[in-house]
Amino acid sequence: MATEAKVTWVGPGLRLVGEASSGPAIVIDHVLPGEERRETGPRPMELLLIGLAGCTAMDVVSILQRMRQPVDGLEVHASAERASDHPKVYTRIHLEYVVKGKGLKESAVERAINLSQTTYCSASAMLSKTAEVTTSYRIVEEE
């Protein structure tokens, strides 16, 4: 299955617009030292983290729903460390899942995260080739 994307430099500086075959465009930006403007979108490496967090979040929500768990909300907080030398790849990535619901089973949350990381999340599978990917979670009991 082929996926297509296009990135167009629109300026000023390193501002780009990215489009994928699925539809909506996204601004990608990086302000260079000395430029007097604000970034209008995430940087490319930040997009990788957003993609990873989004990939695993979709997995975890759908798995918990199939398990008939009362999931009402999910946040995935991604933090990463990069190599000091070019190409400055991510070397460590930590994903913290904040799962919200009333009466969620801890074992179900653990299983959903594990299935995402070991079976379903293609972004995690790719990034784990160069980075150590670790996870943790918190369950927030909703009333």
- Rounded-to-integer distance, Cα 68 and Cα 132, Å: 31
Indicate if 57 and 112 belong to the same structural domain.
yes
Do 26 and 61 lie in a common domain? Answer: no
Whose structure tokens read 């302000």? 31
pLDDT at 136: 99
Domain at 106, CATH number: 3.30.300.20
Residue 1: pLDDT over 80: no
Q: What is the pLDDT of residue 74?
A: 99
Is residue 81 domain-shared with residue 117, that is, in the same domain? yes
Residue 56 token pair? 């695993």
pLDDT value of residue 36? 87
Chain mean pLDDT for the chain: 96
- Is 10 in the same domain as 59? no
The dihedral over CA atoms of 59, 61, 62, 67, expressed in degrees to the nearest 10, equals: 120
Are 115 and 63 spatial neighbours (Cβ–Cβ below 8 Å)?
yes
For 28, half-sphere exposure in the C-beta direction (CA atoms, 13 angstrom radius) is 17
Q: Determine the Cα–Cα distance for residues 105 and 14; give it in Å rounded to an integer.
A: 46
Q: What is the reported pLDDT for 85?
A: 97
Q: Give pLDDT tens digits for 17-64.
A: 999 999 899 999 999 888 888 889 999 999 999 999 999 999 999 999
Q: Which domain holds residue 33?
A: 1-41
Prediction pTM value: 0.93
pLDDT at res. 117: 98
Identify whether residues 30 and 80 lie together within a single domain.
Answer: no
